[in-house]
Amino acid sequence: MDQLPVFFDLKDRWVAVIGGGPQAARRAELALRAGARVRVFAATLGGDFETVIRHPDRIAHVPRLPAAADLEGVTLVFCADGDKACNAAGRDLAKAARIPCNVVDTPEWCDFTMPSIVDRSPVVIAISTAGTSPILGRMIKARIETMLPAAYGRIAQFVGRFRRKVTVAIKSFDGRRHFWERILEGPVVDRVLAGRDAEAAAEFEVELAAAAAGIARSRTGEVYLVGAGPGDPDLVTFKALRLMQRADVVLYDRLVGDGILGLVRREAERIYVGKLPTEHTASQDEIGAMLVRLAQEGKRVLRLKGGDPFLFGRGGEEIERLAGAGIPFQVVPGVTAALGCAAYAGIPLTHRDHAGACVFVTGHSREGKVDLDWTALVRPRQTVAVYMGLSHLAEIARGFVDHGADPALPVAVVDGGTRPEQQVVIGNLADIAQRSEAAALKGPAILIVGTVVRLHETLGWNATGSQTS
Amino acid sequence: MARAGRVALVGAGPGDPELLTLRAARLLAEAEAVVYDRLVPQAIVERARPGAMRIDVGKGAGHHPVPQDTINALLLRLARSGRLVVRLKGGDPFTFGRGGEEAAYLVGHGIPCEVVPGVTSASGAAAALGIPLTHRGLATGVRYVTGHCRDDAPLDLDWSGLADPGTTLVVYMGLANIRRIACGLIEHGMPADLPAAAIARATQAEQRLVVAPLAGIADAAQALKDQGPVLFVIGRVVELAAVLGADASEIERAYA
């Protein structure tokens, strides 16, 4: 170990910062966050200090370089000036006064280096590469940020509130350890993260009373209804990822790709529940029953859906079932397919010159016929996104025209949207069926109908696989 | 030669920093400049690389918004100085985010531009409150409109297109005009007792939900006046809020 990590209490102590640029501003900001008082030595302060100097009682600007007398009573010195000579001067002063000093981008002049910080106060994680590679430090930081929810600190605060009480209630050390492990992996934590402290506290008290009385409460299972986004694993949310890594069993359908399934906890049991438009692997009723049964067995059940669970995902029906059976559940929204396709195909869904409204429908058929409310779809200044419409594309395009739409109205078919194999076929109501047939698309696909499609020509940033007419 | 800069138009999601996508977080961690709106919570802006420039171009109706031209010029200047610029927008950049205009401007000036979709506020609100946007027997689709009009121009909404009871209607930024919107919908045939929800700060700890029949939603929503932008969900799916949502104590009901 090259350096010793320590956490320094700076509350109401003075910190000197030399420099007025962005790096100095970040140092000053960090010191303020740790409760220090800051004196900034710089001819002028740059724009980055704007947010920092909102605390005038804790920060003072001195428009010159420090003299020896200025460092009296100072605990730490940061030399963060753009001018190396200024930093050298500051460092010499600090050294003479025996004050620990940090100089930006100059590890050989530092008494201490600044770590990359993941702040989940009161939990604080510091990462050091001993000045060898700040970039590596940032990458590690990004990975840890992924693992810890932003509100993680609230868990520590919550637990802190109950620590004494638990110590009194549960006498044995092992008993307390088991209790805390159970709490920290259970639904109490999710309630705290969701800001529902009162519910969390009530649930905690029940658990504690049971544990103190020596009653082994069987773990109640729960269901996470999670939107996995449009296909690119990079479009999964942190919350989805966290629950994916906690699940005991996952129920997924065909819209969830392998890349995303790879993010689920390796030990979790995987159950495929369909459904291709032609195959019905498990009926909605069976899926509902399965969710209830697995949760009643005490499992953490992940119901993973492509896109967003509450948009054509039949998520409402599934949670109706869970609510009826008294099973706790959480719903995690996702990036719905139309938004993913729009972004990756460079087609804004709303635009000042084109559309002030957008509407999402499904092209699903009922008894072999597409069942859409055409008069509500054929409107000026409205973009229509059709989910699951590829197999009825010709019929849908004809329906628009039959109900008064201009046959030249642009249409895009985004196939395999956001995935590496994404293909975009551009045409109009009159020719899109033919064009898309020629491209031999496989689905899933989203149709986008409206004049916004014209913007694809300039905005199709993800040019790979794009077939423009 | 100076390194070429680029701009990523990034959706920050509905509010909860946990609902950032992995891609959005990674771009923030690499960003050299972050240009963000009022709708983006500070906890998300703080995900930006330490040392990145952070520029607030917060737009508030009537609060002297930074004009779109100025934002475009700023993005162009930052990118031309060789920076990776993250343009962070609440929700999704291509849904009422004027992301299309910014992207077109930048691409027109030869700046490479990437768009990262985000969880739109309506999906965030739906999940947080247990209101599916589509549901068997209640809604076969969903329509999104904005209730905000430019430069205080009159509302230009396609009323007969919106008054479609089989489709859930979501109104973004609608608080200022909700009375006119509700009246217009009822005049064009939406039932006056159709359930409507007004939602503020969805997915954040301080989220608020008010439920009322369409005829009374304008009055009921005034309770959310100082809570930031208000999202409206209008349609029969709102009935499910009490059944499926977080518990009923969080729902304020108002009956006209």
**Which chain A residue has its CA at the smallest distance from B157's CA?**
A356
Active site residue B37: yes
- Boundary residue ending a domain (A307, A335, A363): A335
- Secondary structure (DSSP) of A286-307: HHHHHHHHHHHTT-EEEEEESB
Q: Do B16 and A458 touch (CB under 8 A)?
A: no
CA distance A114 to chain B (A): 12
Assigned domain for A142 exists: no
Helix (H, G, I), strand (E, B) or coil at A395: helix
Of residues A365 and A281, more confidence is placed in: A365
Of B117, B161, B244, the CB nearest to A323: B244
CA distance A466 to chain B (A): 15
Q: Do B26 and A234 touch (CB under 8 A)?
A: yes
> Quick check: B229 pLDDT over 50?
yes
The residue-averaged pLDDT of A438-464 equals 85
pLDDT confidence band for A464 (50 / 70 / 90): very low
- Boundary residue ending a domain (A193, A212, A231): A212
Nearest to B118 by CA among B141, B145, B86, B142: B86
Of residues A461 and A136, more confidence is placed in: A136
Residues A397 and A382 in one domain: yes
Nearest to B52 by CA among A35, A21, A44: A21
User: Quick one: CA dihedral B219, B220, B221, B224, positive or negative?
Assistant: positive
Q: Do B127 and A346 touch (CB under 8 A)?
A: no
Assigned domain for A365 exists: yes
Residues A246 and A201 in one domain: no
Q: Measure the CA–CA gap between A264 and A245, rounded to whole angstroms.
A: 5
The residue type of A315 is: G
pLDDT confidence band for A251 (50 / 70 / 90): very high
- The encoded tokens of residue A217 equal 């409460």
Domain containing residue A366: CATH number: 3.30.950.10
Residues A198 and A286 in one domain: no
pLDDT confidence band for B247 (50 / 70 / 90): very low
- The encoded tokens of residue A135 equal 């970039």
Cβ proximity of A119 and A30 under 8 Å:
no
> Quick check: A467 pLDDT over 50?
no
Residues A184 and A234 in one domain: no
Residues A26 and A73 in one domain: yes
Of B54, B123, B158, the CB nearest to A379: B158
The pLDDT of residue A288: 92
Per the residue annotation, which of B16, B92, B164, B173 is the catalytic one?
B173
Of A238, A323, A376, the CB nearest to B161: A376
Q: What are the DSSP E strand ranges found in A110-199?
A: 116-120, 123-127
Assigned domain for A8 exists: no
- Boundary residue ending a domain (A335, A355, A386): A335
The residue-averaged pLDDT of A171-183 equals 85
Percentage of chain A exceeding pLDDT 90: 54
Query: How far is CA B125 from each of CA A287, A308, A317, B147, B200, rounded to the nearest angstrom?
Result: 25, 12, 18, 17, 9
Vertex A360 angle, CA A357 and A363, to 5°: 140
Q: Measure the CA–CA gap between A149 and A158, rounded to whole angstroms.
A: 15
CA distance B19 to chain A (A): 5
> Quick check: A466 pLDDT over 80?
no
Domain hosting residue A267, numbered range: 222-335
Q: What residues of A are in contact with residue B10 (Cβ under 8 Å)?
A: none
Q: Do A351 and B101 touch (CB under 8 A)?
A: yes
Domain containing residue A109: CATH number: 3.40.50.720
The pLDDT of residue A461: 60
The pLDDT of residue B2: 53
Residues A375 and A438 in one domain: yes
Assigned domain for A156 exists: yes
> Quick check: B64 pLDDT over 70?
no
Percentage of chain A exceeding pLDDT 70: 95
Domain containing residue A324: CATH number: 3.40.1010.10
Q: Do A347 and B94 touch (CB under 8 A)?
A: yes
Residues A357 and A265 in one domain: no
Worst-scoring range by mean pLDDT, A173-182, A407-416, B179-188? A173-182
Q: Measure the CA–CA gap between A176 and A193, rounded to whole angstroms.
A: 22
Assigned domain for A346 exists: yes
Residues A385 and A453 in one domain: yes
CA distance A415 to chain B (A): 17
The pLDDT of residue B154: 67
> Quick check: A218 pLDDT over 80?
no
Q: Measure the CA–CA gap between A268 and A334, rounded to whole angstroms.
A: 21
Q: What is the mean pLDDT of chain A?
A: 88
If one counts every other C-beta atom within 10 angstroms of the C-beta of residue B154, the result is 8
The pLDDT of residue B14: 94
The pLDDT of residue B252: 54
The residue-averaged pLDDT of A353-381 equals 87
> Quick check: A469 pLDDT over 50?
no
Residues A187 and A247 in one domain: no
Of A196, A227, A343, the CB nearest to B94: A343
Residues A352 and A331 in one domain: no
Q: Measure the CA–CA gap between B18 and A261, rounded to whole angstroms.
A: 19
**Which chain A residue has its CA at the smallest distance from B26's CA?**
A142
Assigned domain for A144 exists: no
Nearest to A239 by CA among A322, A163, A151: A151
- The encoded tokens of residue A467 equal 């077939």
Assigned domain for A465 exists: no
Helix (H, G, I), strand (E, B) or coil at A382: strand
Residue-wise pLDDT for B92-147, tens only, equals: 999 987 899 999 999 999 999 999 999 999 999 999 888 999 998 899 999 999 88
Residues A80 and A18 in one domain: yes
Assigned domain for A43 exists: yes
B94 touches chain A (CB under 8 A): yes
Q: Measure the CA–CA gap between B196 and B211, rounded to whole angstroms.
A: 6
Residues A230 and A310 in one domain: yes
Looking at the structure of chain A, the number of domains it has is 4
